[in-house]
Chain A
Amino acid sequence: MRETVSKFINPSELAQIGDLQLLARTVVSGLGAGIHRSLHTGTSAEFAQYRPYTQGDDLRFVDWRLYGRTDRLHVKQYQDESNVHATVLLDCSASMGYGSGAVSKFRYAQMLAACLVMMMSDQHDVVGFAAYHHDLVTHIPARRQAGQMHRLLLAIDERAPVGAKTDTAGVLQFMGDVLPPRGVVVLIADLLHPIDEMLGHLRSLRAQRHDVLVLQISDPAEQTFPFDRSITLVDSEDGREQFAVPDDVRETYLENRSRHFETIREACLASEIDVEEFVCSEPLDKALHHFMHRRNHGLLTNSRRQSRGGGRR
C-alpha cells in the first residue's frame, strides 16, 4: 500500500455528508476491487486454475501448450465476477449508539454498511439488508431489481440505535433459515453480548457455504478505557449503573475485553470466517482499503482458497 494518511477522509468529515449514497460513492470510488470474488469459475479475464479434462468439457478451454509439455489434457478455469447473494446485517442496539468522538459506532457502521452495499452492487451482486437489535427490525431480501441499492441505502440511513438488548444469534439463525446457500453474509456489530450462541450460528452459516464476514465496530474509548476520575457508568442498553474507579478497574476491563474478542477471533478463524475490527476514529476509506487488501490477499483467513471448488467440507 502506497497510500498516505492525508489521502483518507476523516470520519467526522465523512459523517457530515448527509446523503448516504454520495457518502458511499465518495468512499468506494477509490477502492477498486470488489469485496469478494466469485466462488464459481467462469469466463473472465482472470485465470483461476487448471483442471484435468473430462468428457464434455469445452475444447476451447483446453490448454494446448500445457498438453504439449505434459502430454495430458487440462482445461483452464477462470474466475468469474459473478453475482452472489450478499446480505448486510447491521446491529442497531443501543450500545452501537456510543461514541466518545465525533462519530458514534452506529454512524460509522451505517457508513460502512452503505459502502459495502455500494461496492457489492457495483460488483453486480444481489444485495440484501437486515437491521436488528433484540429483534429483527428491517429485512430487505436480496433482489435483482432496479432501485434496490437506493432502497437499501435508505433503509440503512433511517435506522437508529435504540434496541435495549442485542440478539445477534437470533438474527443469524433467522438468516440461516431464509438465505439461499453460498451467499455472502456481512455482520456489522460491536459484538458486546454473550457470544456462545452467536458463534454457533456463525458456524451454521459457514456450513451453508456462506462467505461470512464479521466486521466489529469499536470506539477508541472502549479500547483504552481512558477515564481518569471515578465515575458511575451506565449501560447504554439496559440502563444498569455501576460505580468504577478507572485506575482500579482498567486493567481488568482491558483483560476481559481482550479475552472476549480473542475468543470470537479464534472461533471465527477455526470456522474460516473473516473478522476485522473497525475503529470509529479511523478514516473509513483507509480501514476499508486495509480490510480489502488483507481479504484479497488471504491475510484474514484462507477460507477463500480452501472453499474454492467446493472446499474441503
Chain B
Amino acid sequence: MSFLVPLFFAGLGLLIVPWLVHRIRRPERETVRFSSLMFVPNVQREVIERRRLQHILLMLLRMALLALLVLAFTRPFQEVVLGANVSDGEMTHHVILLDASLSMSGDEVWMAAKRQAVAILDDVKTGDRVGLIRFAQQARVDVPLTEDVAWIRQAIEGAHWTWEKGDDLVGLQAAADMLAGEQDAQRVVHLVSDFQATGLPEVETGWALPGHIKLHPVVIGQGDWHNASVDALALRPVGQKALQVRARIKNWQGSEALKVNLWLDDKMVDTKTFSVAPGHASQVRFDVAEGVLQGFVEVGNRDGLLGDNRQYFTHQPAPKHRVLVLQSGVLYPLMQAVVPDGADLPWQIVRTTNLVSDLSDHPAVVVAGSVGASEWRGLKTYVEAGGHLFLPLEKEADVDLLNQLLQGSGVQVQALALEQKQVPLSWVDLKHRIFYPFRGAQFNDFSSIRYTGYHRVRVEKGTVLARFEGDDVMMVEAQIGQGRVLIWAGGLALNRSNLARSPRFVPLIHETLRYLSGEQVDPPSWGVGDVVAGVVMDKPGVHQLADGRWVAVNVAVAESDPRQVTPSEFEIRMCEAPVLYRKGDAEAASVVGSDLVLEEYGYWFLCMMFGALLLEHGYAAWLELYSKQEQV
C-alpha cells in the first residue's frame, strides 16, 4: 500500500493529544498527609487496576481514531490491474473518442488531438480492434470496431471538428454502446478531449461509464488560450423606426483591448474599440435603422478560439395578424383600445356587424355585444377548428346561446348579476402570458379595478386567469376543440366597471389580442445542432428556410468557457469505477495504454474513523456510568 499524500503522516504527531489529555485528566496522585485513614474506605487494587486499564483502552481508542483520520488524509492506494478481473483474454478493444466540439477548433488544438489519437494506434497490438467516434452535441461513428488500423488512421487524418457544443455524456454513451457486445476482451475508451468543464452534464443523469470499461483520458490543451467572444446578442426597438443591436462581449482571458465590428449584409458598418478585463464582460451597442436586417457582431481580435467570435442576427418585421371585431352597438372603450390613432400595432383590425362566412383568415375574433344563434354556430365551428375567441360578456349577451358554444368546455356562464357594492379584482394569474407585462411591483395590483355587476361563471376544466373578491371568476380561458375561448365575465361597459378608465386597460386588451392572435415570438437566434423547420443547423450563420424566413444560427456560448476539469474529476463524475492517478493527472493521461490504476482506500479509513468515533463515545459514556455505579 502506498500513499498519495504522505505529507499528512506528519499529522500522526496529533497522537500525542489523547496522551496529553489523559495525562492531564488522569487522577492526580497528589500526596496529602491526613490525620487518619481509619474512616477512608479502602479502594481495592483490582478496582484501581481495572480503571487504569479502562482509561488506557479509551486513550488507545482515541489515538486510533486520530490515526485513522490521518491515514484517510494520506489517501492510501493500491495498484491494481484494471482489466485483470474482467477478462483474461489478451485482446483489447479500443474506442477512440475524439472531442469534435467547437472548443477543439483551434488549429493547434485540433492537430494535437489528431496526433494523440494517432499515437494511440501505435500501441494497438495485432488482433486488437479499434473504433473511432467523434462527438460534440451528437456522436458520429466514423469507424466501427475494426482491426484495420490504417482505416482508423485515415479517418483520423480526415476528421474535422464541428460547430456544436460538446456533450461528454453523448460521446461516452456512444463509446459504451460500441463496446457493449464485446465481452471477450478488455475494453478501453481513449477520450481525446480538452475536458472543458461545460462539456459535463449540468445535472446528475444517473448514467456512468460501466466499470468494466477502462477510460483513458488524453488531455489536449491546457485551457490557457486567449479568448474573447460575443456572449449574448439582442435587438431592441428604439423609438418607432430604429433598432439597437446590443452585444455582450466577454473577455474570458487574454488581452483587455477589444475591437468589435458590426456587419450588415456582408458589410462592416460600424466598429467599436474598448477595454474589458479578463473574466469580465461589457455591453456594446450599435444603432441601426428599422427594416429587414441580417448581420453579425464580431470580435475583431484574433484569439485561440475564432469560432465563437461571431454572433449572427436577423430582423424581419412581423406580418400583421387580422383580428375580426364582431360588434353590435357602440362599444367605445374597446374600439379606442384596439385601434388607437397613429399606433403601429401587430394586428389588423377588421370591424363588422355581421359574421363573415369564412373566418379562417382571422386568428382571433372579438365578439362584443349580442350575437344571433346562427352566428354562434358559426363561431363554434370556427373555434373547434382552431380559432381564438375573445368574449367580453356584456349585459345583452345571450347566456343560453353562449353556453351552447361552451358546451363540453367545462365552463358555464350565468346571467348578469348586479352587486350592491363595488367588487374589486382580488387575484390575477401573473404567470399567464397575458399578464407578463404586469408582473412588475408597480403594475401587478389589480384591486383598484371594480365591478358593480358581472356574469357568474362556473369553471370545471378551464384555466382561471383572474378572480373577483369572493372568488368569483373574472377571466377564464376554455379549450373548445382545437381553439380557445377567453371570457371576461365583467365585460367592458363603462357603467359597470372602471376597467376601461384604468391605465391597465389598453395594455391588457393589447396583450389579450396579441395572445389570441397567436403571435409567435421566435427566439433571437438558434443554436448549431438545433432543428429548425425540419432542417438541422450544422453551422453558424444566417440561413434561409424553405418558407422564406431567415434565421440566425449561432454557436453555443458555453464553448467559449476555457475552464477545464481534471481527468480525475471527470472520472468521478462520469465513470462507475473512478480511478485516481498517482503520477498526476496530466502525466498519467499521457501514458497511453497503461493498465495500472490506483484504487484508493481513504474512504474506508474515514468510515473506520467514524466507527471508532461512535465506539469511543459509547465506551466513554459507559465508563462514566460504570464509575458512578461502582461502589468503591
Contact = CB atoms under 8 A, between A and B. Distances in A.
Nearest to B627: A248
Given A229-B28, A243-B48, A234 B34 contact: yes
A66 B117 CA distance: 143
B530 to A, nearest CB: 79
B629 to A, nearest CB: 11
A108 to B, nearest CB: 13
Contacts of B39: 253-254, 256-257, 260
A133 to B, nearest CB: 13
A222 B40 contact: no
Contacts of B292: none
Given A222-B35, A234-B34, 16 more contacts: A192-B38, A193-B36, A230-B27, A232-B31, A233-B33, A234-B31, A234-B32, A240-B37, A242-B42, A244-B40, A249-B43, A253-B41, A256-B38, A256-B41, A260-B38, A260-B39
A165 to B, nearest CB: 11
Interface in A140-196: 190, 192-193
A234 B33 contact: yes
Interface in A236-258: 236-237, 240-245, 248-249, 252-254, 256-257
Interface in A2-51: none
Nearest to A233: B34
Nearest to B632: A248
A266 interface: no
B43 A231 contact: no
Interface of A: 95-96, 98, 105, 190, 192-193, 219, 221-222, 227, 229-237, 240-245, 248-249, 252-254, 256-257, 260
Contacts of B50: none
B627 to A, nearest CB: 8
A120 to B, nearest CB: 28
A190 B39 CA distance: 13
Contact of B43 (A190, A229, A236, A243): A243
Contacts of A98: 33-35
A54 B35 CA distance: 57
B40 A253 contact: yes
Contacts of A256: 38-41
A227 B32 contact: yes
Interface string B38-75: 11111100001000000000000000000000000000
B29 interface: yes
B27 to A, nearest CB: 3
Nearest to A99: B35
Nearest to B37: A235
Contacts of B33: 98, 233-234, 236
B632 A242 contact: no
A107 to B, nearest CB: 14
B35 A230 contact: no
Interface centre among B34, B37, B627 (most CB of A within 10 A): B34
11 contacts: A95-B36, A192-B35, A192-B38, A229-B27, A230-B29, A231-B32, A236-B36, A243-B27, A245-B43, A249-B40, A252-B41
Contacts of A242: 37, 40, 42-43
Interface in B555-580: none
B30 interface: yes
B194 to A, nearest CB: 67
Interface string B160-178: 0000000000000000000
Nearest to A95: B35
Given A231-B30, A245-B632, A249-B632, A237 B48 contact: no
